[in-house]
Structure 1
Amino acid sequence: MSPRKAAALRAGDRTLREHLIATAERMMAERGAAGLTVRAIAREAGVADGVLYNHFAAKEELLAHALRARAEAIGRTLGPLPEAGGGTVEENLRAYVRHGLTVHRELLPALAGLVAQPDVLARFSALSGGDADWRARLAGYLRAERDLGRLAPDAPVDAAVSMIVGACHEPVLSVLFQGEELARRAPADSADGLVAVVLRGIGPR
């Protein structure tokens, strides 16, 4: 290991790949993703520019992993999502909606700098699959509640998920495509209103 690599890892037991992802994630959190170059990340990480390409095929791969790490870090601050069968469906669904709104809002500074980099977003989407993904967790939760009889037996779960995900995306897209001045902000009670509308369509009858 070169002296610069050793110095970069001196403070912990992470691998150099993990160190680079953590560095890029921290930079995204502090200053967004706009202008986040290989040179800037390398300097912040304390390594030579070319070291990044020993661990990632391209800058886009590193940024996708950093964005994923950022989303996971935000999610950890929000606590676990409710499981089916506990509490009330209304309370649980409100928790899922608030989780989605918060994650999307907190990711906005990073996403705003990546609109012109679709390859990063495509890689991020590929990394975000599986049961840990918020959208998949939401769909699984609603199907489980339907199986338990706490939702209508013919509840259109996919439509409900699309409605909730779209509502969480809207404030982000509003900022990205209309700018800060014209953007539509999600009102404080948006989770309550959205849950009420969704439950009218999928609640037990």
Structure 2
Amino acid sequence: MGRHAAPRGVAIPDVRERLFDAAERVLAREGASALTSRAVTTEAGCAKGLLHAHFDGLDELVAELVLDRFARTVRRAEELVARAGQSTVADNLVTVALALLHSLSPTVVGLAMTRPGASLRIRQALAAGAPSFTAIQDSITGCLEAEQRLGRFAEGADTSSIALAIVGTVHHLLMTTWADAPAPREQVGRLIVLLVGAGIDGAASARDRA
């Protein structure tokens, strides 16, 4: 059954998310060159003018898509502190790192970087305080500090540097992961085990000496 536009005057719930999802599907299926206002609204099954009723063209749509996915991951990262003491330290960090990696496809990231209007909007929003990698880094630092208080992570470990290394690596993978690149999940997992392993071992040694 084909797609149908919503009748005039009928509100479409969560229209921004619907357009975001449609744009991601078009990009995944056909690539950046296929992303047009018509392609997005057709994929979303809504009237052609709906995109321009909510966004000032494709640049704003792409920018808002990137910012929305970052904000979603930041919310996931903020839950880390509450998970302190559960599962393992490494597993909790891997969960957030993978959420960030999967928040945006390389095609979306590449498109945002190559459209000057979208890139400028993203930079302006981040400078104005929109959720970004820094917020994720702060959440990881807070999680590790909570684990230190629980005795599951070495007291002297440099939590902020570990968080920076994780976020910096994820940022690199997010910008450079393509179809023929090594699996990012494995790379992130190995890095986190390496970074937090000494802290976990140090905490265990301290408990043994107590």
Check conservation: 2:37, 2:51, Cα contact below 8 A: yes
Corresponding position of 1:128: 131
Matches within 5 A, 1:168-187: 168-175=170-177, 183=181, 185-186=183-184
C-alpha distance 16-98 of structure 1, shift in aligned 2 (>3 A) = closer
When residues 41 and 73 of structure 1 are mapped into structure 2, their CA distance, relative to the original with a 3 A threshold, is same
Distance in 1 of aligned mates of 2:131 and 2:98: 17
Q: For residues 100 and 127 of structure 1, what CA distance do their matches in structure 2 show?
A: 19
Backbone CA RMSD of aligned residues: 4.2
Q: Return the match for 2:152 from 135, 150, 153.
A: 150
- Aligned-pair CA distance for 1:157: 1.6
| 1:34/1:201 CA distance change after superposition, 3 Å | farther
Counterpart amino acid of 2:195? V
When residues 191 and 146 of structure 1 are mapped into structure 2, their CA distance, relative to the original with a 3 A threshold, is same
Paired AA for residue 38 in structure 2: R
Q: Distance in 1 between matches of 2:130 and 2:30?
A: 23
How far does residue 162 in structure 1 lie from its aligned partner after superposition? Answer: 0.8
Match of 1:138 in 2: 140
Instruction: Give 2:109's aligned residue.
Output: 111
Distance in 1 separating the partners of 2:124 and 2:29: 22
Kindly report structure 1 stretches of 4+ aligned residues shifted beyond 6 Å. Answer: 7-10, 71-75
Gaps of 5+ in 2: none
Percent identical pairs in the alignment equals 24
How does the TM-score come out when normalised to structure 2?
0.63
**CA spacing shift, 1:8–1:48, aligned 2, 3 Å:** farther
Contact map agreement 1:42 1:48 (CA 8 A) in 2: yes
Deviation at 1:9, TM superposition (A): 6.2
Following superposition, the deviation at residue 70 of structure 1 comes to 5.4
CA 1:127–1:58: 2 relative to 1, 3 Å: farther
Aligned CA distance change for structure 1 residues 95 and 34 (closer, same or farther; 3 Å): farther
Instruction: Tell me the TM-score normalized by structure 1.
Output: 0.64
Deviation at 1:144, TM superposition (A): 1.5
Relative to structure 1, the CA distance from residue 128 to residue 94 in structure 2 (aligned partners, 3 Å threshold; closer, same or farther) is: same
TM-fit CA distance, 1:84: 0.7
Q: Please name the residue that 1:20 is paired with.
A: 19
Amino acid in the other structure paired with 1:196:
L
Q: Is the 8 A contact 1:104 1:172 kept in 2?
A: yes
